[in-house]
Amino acid sequence: MPELPEVEVVRRGLERWVDGRTVGEVEVLHPRAVRRHPAGGADFAARLTGHRLGTARRRGKYLWIPLADSGFSVLGHLGMSGQLLVQPENAPDEKHLRIRVRFDDALGTELRFVDQRTFGGLSLHDNTPDGLPDVIAHIARDPLDPEFDDAAFQAALRLRRTTVKRALLDQSLISGVGNIYADEALWRARLHYDRPTASLTRPRSAELLGHVRDVMNAALAAGGTSFDSLYVNVNGESGYFDRSLDAYGREDEPCRRCGTPMRRRPWMNRSSYFCPRCQRPPRAAAPVGVRV
Ligand SMILES: [Zn+2]
């Protein structure tokens, strides 16, 4: 499942390769890939054709291309296996090609949405006054957004009766942090995933936020994480940040800080990876609100 850094890599690819190009023709090859566009594939194709694409934008894991000459956007859902590829027009079709966008220019490339499992897709949505597709208006800013409000986030953490990993994955509080980078940031911050957020001091929550940003920036610099050969960026190149993960996927391997075997625990239908020595579970007996 792509997380923020992977989606940002795709966004940069779109910015580089399709910005300002006018859509000449759209082919929807599988109805599931436009199921979030209720009016259907023919409507999707007709409404997109003739419009000029603006600069691709991202909030958290959501990616969209505003249409430069209208009040709506193409929202991309990468799902588990979705890829947006810019390919030469004469390149053979991918086996799981779902949507093709040809352009009204002589650059010789086209945009393809390829998705083996077809959990992802493309859809058209009206924009809010802030320029977001209306269906994602509730998504909070992500920590790499220059307008992310650190103080408000820290205050919200102290007020909420929740645990730290749940808070990091709450897209209405902070967007773009998924399971992988939550585990990485918590390992760096030496915090157990079940630690109550109300127990975090201001310096601890500031430190955690710093680690969230560091781990995401490191992943971005490496071109995103890839666990799945299906994930490639807009040019078809796999990310390779998985080589430098410290926590996620490292069950029974030694903690890179203290050597203790890392553990994996089931967590909300997923897994949490942590070092039992560096990331001590919260003391069950500690009264709520006591800062430790
Ligand atoms: Zn450790």
CATH code, 270? 1.10.8.50
Instruction: Tell me what the mean pLDDT of segment 209-218 comes to.
Output: 92
Evaluate whether residue 249 is within a structural domain: yes
Residues 239 and 160 occupy one common structural domain:
yes
Catalytic annotation present for 15 = no
pLDDT band at 226 (very low <50, low <70, confident <90, very high): low
Provide the pLDDT for residue 229.
Answer: 44
pLDDT higher than 90, residue 118: no
> Which of 190, 213, 265, 270 is an active site residue?
270
Residues 161 and 55 occupy one common structural domain:
no
Residues 87 and 160 occupy one common structural domain:
no
Provide the pLDDT for residue 80.
Answer: 75
Q: At 37, which CATH number?
A: 3.20.190.10
Residues 112 and 161 occupy one common structural domain:
no
pTM confidence score: 0.81
Question: Which residues are 133's β-sheet partners?
Answer: 127
Residues 216 and 244 occupy one common structural domain:
yes
Separation CA 130–CA 17 (nearest Å)? 25
How far, in Å, from the CA of 208 to the mean position of ligand 1? 17
Instruction: Tell me what the mean pLDDT of segment 72-81 comes to.
Output: 88
Evaluate whether residue 144 is within a structural domain: no
**Residues listed for the chain:** 292
pLDDT higher than 70, residue 288: no
How far, in Å, from the CA of 197 to the mean position of ligand 1? 21
Residues 127 and 165 occupy one common structural domain:
no
Catalytic annotation present for 25 = no
Residues 15 and 120 occupy one common structural domain:
yes
Catalytic annotation present for 61 = yes
pLDDT higher than 90, residue 147: yes
pLDDT band at 285 (very low <50, low <70, confident <90, very high): very low
Lowest mean pLDDT among 91-105, 226-240, 266-280: 226-240
Evaluate whether residue 279 is within a structural domain: no
Count of the separate structural domains present in the chain:
2
Lowest mean pLDDT among 85-94, 208-217, 231-240, 246-255: 231-240
> Which of 11, 21, 59, 61 is an active site residue?
61
Residues 109 and 185 occupy one common structural domain:
no
Residues 58 and 116 occupy one common structural domain:
yes
Give the domain range for residue 254.
150-274
Residues 61 and 131 occupy one common structural domain:
yes
Evaluate whether residue 290 is within a structural domain: no
Separation CA 89–CA 25 (nearest Å)? 12
Evaluate whether residue 166 is within a structural domain: yes
Evaluate whether residue 281 is within a structural domain: no
Catalytic annotation present for 3 = yes
> Which of 3, 6, 110, 184 is an active site residue?
3
Residues 29 and 118 occupy one common structural domain:
yes
Q: Could you give the 3-state DSSP secondary structure of residue 34?
A: helix
CA distances from 283 to 13, 51, 181, 202, 280 (A): 46, 58, 24, 20, 8
Separation CA 231–CA 158 (nearest Å)? 36
Residues 155 and 113 occupy one common structural domain:
no
How many C-beta atoms surround the C-beta of residue 171 within 10 A?
A: 18
How far, in Å, from the CA of 195 to the mean position of ligand 1? 17
